[in-house]
């Protein structure tokens, strides 16, 4: 089968087509004929070598892509699926989505038949929506009527937090973006207010029970002062910084605040049981149209172009590759 591999660290040119053996599902597994594969920031971070020093990050050569949509090609014993079923995956261990066929644990596969949700929308957003849900129910517990601040509001993960937080009882969700021309697009995603991350001082008199930070850098440190007593900062990425900021643990102690990391891949690798209940909880957000993400679909052969757009900051919404 065809696949696209990150052959070494570097720019988009290191993505090269390879021939790989087609996987065969074992018990509790399925193979999926891939029609759509998500392009995530993590794919680019791994390709660039940003995460090279961390043991948890996959190393080249590898086939990127954490989520796919398509149809069941073959179903292993006990998987609960049949050939031809239309499905989307949640975040998969081991990546491998930029390919003709993907092996997946059945516990991380969600049926799409009868939902009315398009594959491109499903692969672009469902896994991130499940991530947001699990982060607010497992990593931290969102208090009722909480106020939530989300940085990098236009990012793939950040963009689904408004509806997920409301589903869990939040009363206000505020977003930040880097540039003034991004404000209106972020408001369309359901944020109650959107401001520039450089204008964080405008929030100096406000406090938030949860701050979601997929950005990192100095913004992370500056935001700690906006946490309410017993508030939690939820670290879900580092899109805006290649170096990890240092948090003053004495300040965390003295202010009765917390900083919690959540990596859904590692979480579900340890235990897949929470995955499907979380998917069942958030899928109505798509069937009801409460979440509809801006998605750009490119042919799989244009994966280098997709990565170039990410590197240049030209991507609007999610990028998806189609076979």
User: For residue 176, how far is the Cα from the chain centroid?
Assistant: 17
Residue 5: closest CA among 55, 62, 46, 54: 62
Check residue 95 and give left, alpha or beta (phi > 0: left; psi -120 to 50: alpha): left
Task: Find where tokens 């995603």 sit.
Answer: 189
Q: How far apart are CA 159 and CA 40, in angstroms?
A: 13
Per-residue pLDDT tens for 182-238?
A: 999 999 999 999 999 999 999 999 999 999 999 988 899 999 999 999 999 999 988
Backbone angles phi, psi at 73, to 5 degrees: -90, -45
Six-digit token pair at 8? 């070494």
Shortest CA distance to 208 belongs to which of 182, 184, 176?
176
**What integer pLDDT is reported at residue 242 of this predicted model?**
61
Q: What is the pLDDT of residues 27-42, one digit of tens each?
A: 999 999 999 999 998 9
Q: pLDDT-based confidence at 54, cuts 50/70/90?
A: confident
d(CA 110, CA 102): 14
pLDDT digits (tens, 9 = 90+) for 9-18: 999 999 999 9
Dmax of the chain from CA atoms?
58
Beta-carbon count within 10 A of 189 CB:
23
Domains within the chain, CATH numbers bracketed: 2-126+272-322 (3.90.180.10), 141-261 (3.40.50.720)
Cβ atoms of 232 and 261 closer than 8 Å: no
Provide the 10 A C-beta neighbour count for residue 294: 14
Is 0.85 topped by the overall pTM? yes
Instruction: Please state whether the peptide bond connecting residue 61 to the residue before it is cis, i.e. omega within 30 degrees of 0.
Output: yes
Residues 233-276 pLDDT 10s: 999 988 776 667 888 899 899 999 999 999 998 899 899 999 99
The pLDDT value given to residue 317: 81
- CA-CA distance, 275 to 322, in Å (whole number)? 25
Check residue 137 and report its DSSP letter.
I
Q: For the stretch 305-320, what's the b/e string if a residue is b when 16 or more beta carbons lie within 10 angstroms of its beta carbon?
A: bbbbbbeeeebebbbb
Tell me the C-alpha distance between 298 and 187, whole Å.
26
> In whole angstroms, what is the distance from residue 249 CA to residue 178 CA?
27
pLDDT tens by residue, 106-161: 999 999 999 999 999 999 999 999 999 999 999 999 999 999 999 999 988 999 99
Q: Shortest CA distance to 209 belongs to which of 149, 126, 169?
A: 149
Q: Which helix (H) or strand (E) holds 262?
A: none
The tokens for 3 are 């696949």
Rounded Cα distance between 69 and 117, Å, is 11
Find, among 193, 202, 250, the residue nearest to 223 by Cα.
Answer: 202
Can you tell me the mean pLDDT for 167-191? Answer: 95
Q: Which of 271, 273, 316 is nearest to 297 (CA)?
A: 316
> Smallest Cα–Cα separation from 141: which of 170, 108, 163?
170
């Amino acid at each position: 089968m065809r696949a696209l591999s990150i052959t070494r660290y570097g720019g988009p040119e290191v993505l090269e087509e390879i021939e790989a053996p087609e996987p065969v599902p074992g018990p509790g597994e399925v193979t999926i004929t891939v029609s759509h594969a998500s392009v995530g920031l993590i794919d680019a971070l791994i390709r660039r070598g940003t995460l090279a020093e961390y043991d948890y990050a996959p190393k080249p050569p590898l086939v990127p892509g954490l989520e796919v949509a398509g149809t069941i090609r073959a179903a292993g014993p006990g998987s609960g699926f049949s050939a031809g079923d239309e499905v989307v995956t949640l975040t998969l261990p081991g990546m491998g989505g930029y390919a003709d066929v993907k092996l997946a644990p059945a516990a991380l596969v969600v049926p799409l038949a009868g939902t009315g949700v398009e594959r491109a929308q499903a692969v672009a957003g469902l896994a991130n929506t499940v991530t947001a849900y699990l982060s607010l129910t497992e990593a931290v517990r969102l208090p009722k009527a909480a106020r939530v601040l989300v940085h990098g509001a236009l990012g793939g993960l950040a963009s689904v937090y408004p509806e997920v937080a409301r589903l869990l009882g939040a009363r206000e969700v505020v977003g930040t973006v880097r540039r003034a021309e991004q404000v209106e697009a972020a408001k369309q995603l359901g944020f109650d207010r959107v401001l520039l991350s450089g204008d964080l001082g405008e929030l100096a008199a406000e406090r938030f029970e949860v701050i979601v930070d997929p950005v990192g850098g100095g913004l992370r440190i500056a935001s700690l002062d906006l946490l309410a007593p017993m508030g939690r900062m939820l670290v879900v990425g580092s899109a805006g910084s290649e170096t990890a900021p240092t948090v003053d643990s004495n300040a965390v102690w003295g202010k009765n605040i917390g900083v919690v990391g959540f990596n859904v891949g590692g979480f579900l690798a340890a235990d897949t049981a929470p995955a499907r209940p979380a998917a069942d909880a958030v899928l109505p957000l798509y069937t009801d149209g409460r979440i509809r993400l801006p998605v750009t679909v490119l042919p799989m052969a244009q994966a280098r172009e997709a990565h170039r757009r990410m590197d240049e900051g030209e991507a609007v919404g999610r990028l998806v590759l189609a076979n």
